[in-house]
Amino acid sequence: MTAPAYPKTWRRPPQILANRRIRIAIQIGVLIYLVLAVGSIEVNWLRVFEGLERGQRFVMGFLSPDFTSRWRDIQQGLVESLTMTLTSTVIGVALSIPIGIGGARNMVPRPVYLVCRSIIAVSRALQEIIVAIFLVAMFGFGPFAGFLTLTFATIGFIGKLLADEIEEIDASQVEAIRATGATWPQLLVYAVQPQVMPRIIGLSLYRLDINFRESAVIGIVGAGGIGATLNTAIDRYEYDSAGAILLIIIAIVMVAEYSSSYLRKFLQ
Amino acid sequence: MPACFQFGKTAMLRLTNLSKTYRTGDKALNDVSFEVHKGQIIGLIGPSGAGKSTLIRCINRLVEPTGGEVRLGEVNLVTLGKSDLRRQRRRIGMIFQEYALVERLSVMENVLSGRLGYVPFWRSWLRRFEGHDIQRAYELLDRVGLLQHADKRADALSGGQRQRVGIARALMQDPDLLLVDEPTASLDPKTSRQIMRLLTEICSERGLPAIVNIHDVPLAQHFMQRIIGLRAGTVVFDGVAEALDETVLTEIYGAEDWNALRPETPAEPARAPVEVPA
C-alpha cells in the first residue's frame, strides 16, 4: 500500500481577513492615508529654528543647574508637593479599598457593584489636569486643590486595580471560609485580604510615586507644589533654576521607584 | 436500604428528592434521596460530571438546590435564611480537593478559621481567639501530626500536610457531619491512603458521619462501608462496598473491562476499627 500524499507546504491561514483582495486594499488605503496625513502637517521652519535656540538655552540651564538662588522657593514647593503626595495617597488608598471591594463582582450584590464601578469609571475618565483646573477654580490656587485632585485620581486607579484583583482571587479559598459559617466581614478578612494584601501594598507604593510626578504637573495649572515653582521659573526664563527643579524631581522619582520595588520584593 | 445501615437511632442527615437544575437548564441532581447515620462513612462515586460535587455543595448550600429537602438532625437547611444558614454551616465541616487553605495565612490561622462561625468579628480580625479554642487547635494539629508546623505559612507545606491542615480546620468546627470533596485527587497513592486512613480513623473516633466524593473506586472500596453510585445526577447504587461488582460499575460508569486493571484484593481489611479516643 502506498503512503497517502500528504502536502509538503503549509502556511498559516489568515486569521482576520480571509479575502486576499480586501486585505491588500486595506493595506494600500492605510498607506495613502499616512502619506496624506503627514503632508497636511504645517511646519513653520523659521519658528522651529528659533525654538532650537531656546531649546539650547534650556539644555545649557540643565548643564549648569542653579540650586541656590531660588532655594527657598524650591524648598517650599518640594515640601508642598511631598505633603500633597503623601496625604493624597494615604486618603486615596483608604477610600479606594471599600470602593474596590464594592467593585468586585464576586463579593457584592449587583447594585453595589454597579455604583462602585461607576465611581471608578468617573474618576478614571477625568484626567488629572482637567480635575485640577476645575478644583483650582473651586478652591483657589494652592496645594489643597492639588491634594483633592490626587486623592480623586488615586481612587480611580487603586479602586479599579483592586477590584480586578479581587475578581481574580482563588474562589476555592473563599468557598472554604464560607463553608465554616463565616460572616461576610470575616470572609473579607480571612479569605480575601490575605490574597490581595501584597498587591494593595505594591499598588499603593506605585501610586505614591505617580502622585509625586503628577503633583509636579498639576502645579503648572495652579494646584501648588513643585510644579508651581517650576512654572514660575520657566516664566521668568530662569532655565538654570528650572533645570535644578527638574533634576530634583528626577532624583526623588528614582529614589521612590527603587525603594518601592525593594519594599515590594521584601513583602512577597 | 440494607438493614445493616440502620444504627437504630434517627438519621443525622436525610436528603429527600434533592434536585438541582442550573440556570443553563442542565439537570445536575435528580431526586436524590438517602440517609446518613451517625458514625457512617459514605463513599460517593460516579463519573466526572455526575453531580458528586454539586450534591455535597447542595448540602451546605454553597450551591443552592432547586428542589427537595436537606435535613441535618431536625433542621431543614434548604429553607433557612442567611444567618440561620451560617449557624448550621458551623455544624458541617468541609474538606476540599485542592485543600483550599488560605495560602498566605499560617497553619494555625487556617485551623482557627474553623471557629469563624462561633466568634465575633473583632476576635477573628485581631486573631484574639479564646484560650479553649487555641488549646483545641493545638490538640487537633497534634492529632494530625503537624504540631511543630503551627506557625509555618500554609503554602510552605507539602500536599499531604496541607490536607491534614484541611482536616484539622474542618474538625475545629466541632461538626456533626463532614463533607469531603475528592480528598485525595491531588495526592500520590501512598499519601492518599494515609489521608484516607486518618479520615476514617477520626470519623470512627468521634462517631462522625461523612460523605466522601471519591473517584478512585478501589480506594473507596478499601476504606468505606457504604458506597453510593451517582450517574447523571441520579442514585444508581446504594449498598455495601462488597456489593460493588462489574455489573454495578458498568451501571455507574458505563461499559468497560473492569477486571483488566483491578488490583489484587487487599489482604487486610483497612477499615479503621472503632476506637475509644484516648
Taking only the tens place, the pLDDT of each residue in B94-114 is: 999 889 999 999 999 999 999
Question: Between chains, do B102 and A178 touch, taking CB under 8 Å as contact?
Answer: no
Residues of chain A with pLDDT under 70: 1-2, 268
Considering only CB atoms, which residues of chain A are within 8 Å of chain B? 170, 172-173, 175-183, 185-186, 189-191, 194-195, 197-198
CB B181 within 8 A of CB B96: yes
CATH 3.40.50.2300 applies to domain A66-267: no
At residue B260, the pLDDT reads 65
Domains (range + CATH), chain B:
38-57+92-253 (3.40.50.300)
Question: Between chains, do B124 and A195 touch, taking CB under 8 Å as contact?
Answer: no
Q: Give the total residue count for chain B.
A: 278
At residue B169, the pLDDT reads 96
ipTM, interface predicted TM-score of the complex: 0.86
Residues of chain B with pLDDT under 70: 1-10, 260-278
- Tell me the domain boundaries of chain A: 20-57, 66-267
pTM (predicted TM-score): 0.82
Question: Between chains, do A182 and B125 touch, taking CB under 8 Å as contact?
Answer: no
**CA-based nearest residue to B229, from B241, B219, B21, B72:** B241
For chain A, say whether B213 makes contact (Cβ under 8 Å). no
Here the cell at position B30 is 435528580
**Candidates B100, B103, B115; nearest CB to A175:** B100
**Candidates A170, A180, A190; nearest CB to B173:** A180
Residue B35 Cα, gap to closest chain A Cα (Å):
21
At residue B264, the pLDDT reads 52
A120-145 in b/e form (b: 16+ CB < 10 A) is beebeebebeebbbbbbeeeeebbeb
At residue B1, the pLDDT reads 44
**CA-based nearest residue to B57, from B36, B98, B87, B28:** B28
Question: Between chains, do B102 and A190 touch, taking CB under 8 Å as contact?
Answer: yes
At residue A178, the pLDDT reads 94
Question: Between chains, do B100 and A190 touch, taking CB under 8 Å as contact?
Answer: no
Relative to beta strand B177-181, strand B92-95 is parallel
Residues of A with Cβ-Cβ distance to B75 under 8 angstroms: none
Helix A110-125 to helix A143-167 angle, to the nearest 10 degrees?
Answer: 140
Residues of B with Cβ-Cβ distance to A176 under 8 angstroms: 94, 96, 100-102, 166, 169
For chain A, say whether B80 makes contact (Cβ under 8 Å). no
Taking only the tens place, the pLDDT of each residue in A28-47 is: 999 999 999 998 888 888 88
Question: Between chains, do B62 and A179 touch, taking CB under 8 Å as contact?
Answer: yes
Question: Alpha-carbon distance B128 to B108, whole Å?
Answer: 12
Residues of B with Cβ-Cβ distance to A185 under 8 angstroms: 121, 125
Residues of B with Cβ-Cβ distance to A170 under 8 angstroms: 103
Question: Between chains, do A177 and B117 touch, taking CB under 8 Å as contact?
Answer: no
At residue B268, the pLDDT reads 45
Question: Alpha-carbon distance A96 to A189, whole Å?
Answer: 17
At residue B266, the pLDDT reads 46
Name the residue in chain A with its Cα closest to that of B122: A186
- SS3 string, B60-88, reads CCCCCCCEEEEEECCEEHHHCCHHHHHHH
- SS3 string, chain B, reads CCHHHCCCCCCCEEEEEEEEECCCCCEEEEEEEEEECCCCEEEEECCCCCCHHHHHHHHCCCCCCCEEEEEECCEEHHHCCHHHHHHHHCCEEEECCCCCCCCCCEHHHHHHHHHCCCCCHHHHHCCCCCHHHHHHHHHHHHHCCCHHHCCCEHHHCCHHHHHHHHHHHHHHCCCCEEEEECCCCCCCHHHHHHHHHHHHHHHHHHCCCEEEECCCHHHHHHHCCEEEEEECCEEEEEEEHHHCCHHHHHHHHCCCCCCCCCCCCCCCCCCCCCCCCC
